[in-house]
Structure 1
Amino acid sequence: MIVTYGLANFLQAIAAHKVSEHKSFHPRLLLELAVHRVYLAGIGCQILGFVLAFMARRDLPLFLVQASVAAGIGITAVLGVVFLKWRLPKSEISLLVLLSFGIVALVISAEPSPSDQLTPAAVIALVVILVGLAVAGVFTARLKGVTGSVALGGLAGLAFGAAAVASRPLSNILDVQAFVTDPLLYLMIIYSLTGQLLLALAMQRGSTTAAVASMDAAFAAPAAAVGLLLLGDQIAAGREWLAGVGFLVTLGSVLALTRYAEPQEQQPRETSPRALEPAGTAAPGRVGPPARDSV
């Protein structure tokens, strides 16, 4: 899951900077990106990562799965170094090592268990939050520059986190009919698409770094808290401190690494579909960002 999300981040960051900038909260941006091979390849990797994350949430707590999804930035960094000759100083190599230790600590501290089901009130709350995100997206899409990247990235993180919350109890439903009729399935899909649109808008505002950092901050912590409070997520007895340290180290390393999410030599935006070529033809740059979780 970590590897596939890292590859998805890498490809989608390249694609988001190759189309004309959109200044409104409109799905037309996703349709425009959908004609580009690099973006479609990134979406394919993201869908695979989503399936793997969905399977992981059947038994694993959200604080582990969400942090692991965010850790895909480490894979993105390695891909940038290998394929686009991005520069990764020793301090960032140290961050990759810390990121690995953080994930290991979370794995050791997590206690596998099935999820509790959300109450009807919690499901209604997810619907209300979705409406609130859509309204906020309409107004936030008007912001420009780093401010727009941070605001839209934060909204994208909340959307992806809500999709993760919906998917945790959904992944424990084994009956096909019950699965396809459960409202959580459709909330998960809508939240994922909303997050994808918000992330694409955030990356277009000129700072992939700011977009991914704010998304990761809003993506992992709230969902992890909901998992512990409402979904019955468990921490192994006596390892609560290890879970806390692992989560903070992982998220801190991710946020620090996002400064390398922005290409070093940004190319002008293009409006022609031909402008986007396979990743191997892109100009050298610096480590790139996520999408995130969700689909």
Structure 2
Amino acid sequence: MVAAYGVANLLQSMAAARTTVHHTFDPQLLVRLAGHRAYLLGLGCQVLGFVFAFLARRDLPLFLVQASVAAGLGVTALLGVLILKWTLPLAEIALLILLLGGITALVLSARPAHSRQLPTSAVAGLAVAILVIAVLGFFSVRLHGAPGSVVLGSLAGVAFSAAAIAARPLANEHTFGGLCSDPLLYVLIAHSIVGQLLLGLAMQRGSTTAAVAAMDAAGAVPAAIVGLLLLGDRIHPGREWLAAVGFVVTLATVIALTRYAEPQHHHSSRRVLTDAGVGA
């Protein structure tokens, strides 16, 4: 899952940088992005990562799975070094080591368990959240530069977080009929589409790294809280401090890692795409 999301981040950000900036909340952006082979490859990797994450959420608490999704940025950084010839400062090496330590702490503290079912009121709340996020996105597209990237990226993260919350109990469905009849499936799909559109808009606003950092932070925290309060996510007794430290360290290092990607990304992605024959 971490590897798949890391590749997806790299390919999708490269495609977004080559697509005409959209100033409206227009789903046609996804169509335009789909004209780039890099984006389609990245979307395929994202779908693969989503499948792995969905299966992981069947037994693992959301604070571990969502933090691991965010950790995909570490894979993005390593691929940037290997493919786009990014430099790797000593500070970034230290951050990657901290990232590994944070994820390790979460793994050691997480206690596998099946999810509880969401109450009907919570399912209705997730459905209403789709409209709220879409309306906020409609007005937020007027923002430009880094502020636009942060706001739109945060909204994308909230949408993906809601999708993760829906996926945790949904993953325990054992029959295809039960899966298709569960309203959580359609809530998950709707939030994923809205989140994908918002992420594409955020990446176009001039700061891909700000978009990714905002998305990771906004996507991990709400899901972790809801998982612990409503879904029966568990921590091994006596390891609550380890879970808290691991979660904070993981998110902090992910946000810190984003500062290295953007300056190198815009200078090298077009040349590498041209050399590799990837693009529209």
TM-score scaled by length of structure 2 = 0.96
Residue 246 of structure 1: aligned partner: 246
AA matched with 1:204: Q
Q: Deviations over 1:222-278 (max 9, x none)?
A: 1100000000000001110100011011111101001123142626999xxxx9946
Instruction: Give the whole-Å Cα distance in 2 for the aligned partners of 1:280 and 1:237.
Output: 51
Pairing of 1:276-291 with structure 2 (within 5 A):
277=273, 280=276
Matched, 1:151 2:171: no
Q: Deviations over 1:129-181 (max 9, x none)?
A: 11100100100011111111110000000000000000000000112111101
Instruction: Give the whole-Å Cα distance in 2 for the aligned partners of 1:2 and 1:279.
Output: 27
Residue 205 of structure 1: aligned partner: 205
Residue 221 of structure 2: aligned partner: 221
Residue 92 of structure 1: aligned partner: 92
1:68 to partner: Cα distance: 0.2
Residue 139 of structure 1: aligned partner: 139
1:212 to partner: Cα distance: 0.9
Q: Is the 8 A contact 2:84 2:272 kept in 1?
A: no
Instruction: Give the whole-Å Cα distance in 1 for the aligned partners of 2:275 and 2:213.
Output: 23
Q: Deviations over 1:7-33 (max 9, x none)?
A: 000100100000100001111000011
Instruction: Give the whole-Å Cα distance in 1 for the aligned partners of 2:209 and 2:31.
Output: 24
CA RMSD of aligned residues (A): 1.9
Instruction: Give the whole-Å Cα distance in 2 for the aligned partners of 1:84 and 1:29.
Output: 25
1:280 to partner: Cα distance: 3.8
Q: Is the 8 A contact 2:84 2:268 kept in 1?
A: no
Deviates more, 1:56-65 or 1:206-215: 206-215
Instruction: Give the whole-Å Cα distance in 2 for the aligned partners of 1:267 and 1:241.
Output: 42
1:206 to partner: Cα distance: 0.3
Q: Deviations over 1:42-74 (max 9, x none)?
A: 000000000000000000000000000000000
Q: Is the 8 A contact 1:15 1:276 kept in 2?
A: no
AA matched with 1:119: P
Residue 5 of structure 2: aligned partner: 5
Matched, 1:128 2:121: no
Q: Deviations over 1:62-107 (max 9, x none)?
A: 0000000000000000000011110120001000000001101100
Residue 64 of structure 2: aligned partner: 64
Pairing of 1:253-268 with structure 2 (within 5 A):
253-264=253-264, 266=266
Instruction: Give the whole-Å Cα distance in 1 for the aligned partners of 2:210 and 2:272.
Output: 23
AA matched with 1:39: Y
Residue 22 of structure 1: aligned partner: 22
Q: Is the 8 A contact 2:146 2:206 kept in 1?
A: yes
Instruction: Give the whole-Å Cα distance in 1 for the aligned partners of 2:238 and 2:146.
Output: 42
Pairing of 1:160-171 with structure 2 (within 5 A):
160-171=160-171
Matched, 1:184 2:198: no
Q: Is the 8 A contact 1:163 1:189 kept in 2?
A: yes
Residue 111 of structure 1: aligned partner: 111
Name the CA shift for 1:219/1:279 in 2 (closer, same or farther; >3 Å).
Answer: farther
Q: Is the 8 A contact 1:38 1:278 kept in 2?
A: no
Residue 285 of structure 1: aligned partner: none
Q: Is the 8 A contact 1:18 1:276 kept in 2?
A: no
Matched, 1:232 2:252: no
SS at match of 1:261: helix
Q: Is the 8 A contact 1:167 1:185 kept in 2?
A: yes
TM-score scaled by length of structure 1 = 0.91
Q: Is the 8 A contact 1:66 1:220 kept in 2?
A: yes
Paired residue total: 278
Name the CA shift for 1:268/1:255 in 2 (closer, same or farther; >3 Å).
Answer: closer
Residue 53 of structure 1: aligned partner: 53
Stretches of structure 2 lacking an aligned partner (at least 5 in a row): none
Instruction: Give the whole-Å Cα distance in 1 for the aligned partners of 2:243 and 2:20.
Output: 43
AA matched with 2:139: F
Instruction: Give the whole-Å Cα distance in 2 for the aligned partners of 1:264 and 1:51.
Output: 30
Stretches of structure 1 lacking an aligned partner (at least 5 in a row): 283-295
Residue 76 of structure 1: aligned partner: 76
Indicate the structure whose relative CO is greater, using CA pairs within 8 Å and at least 6 residues apart: 1
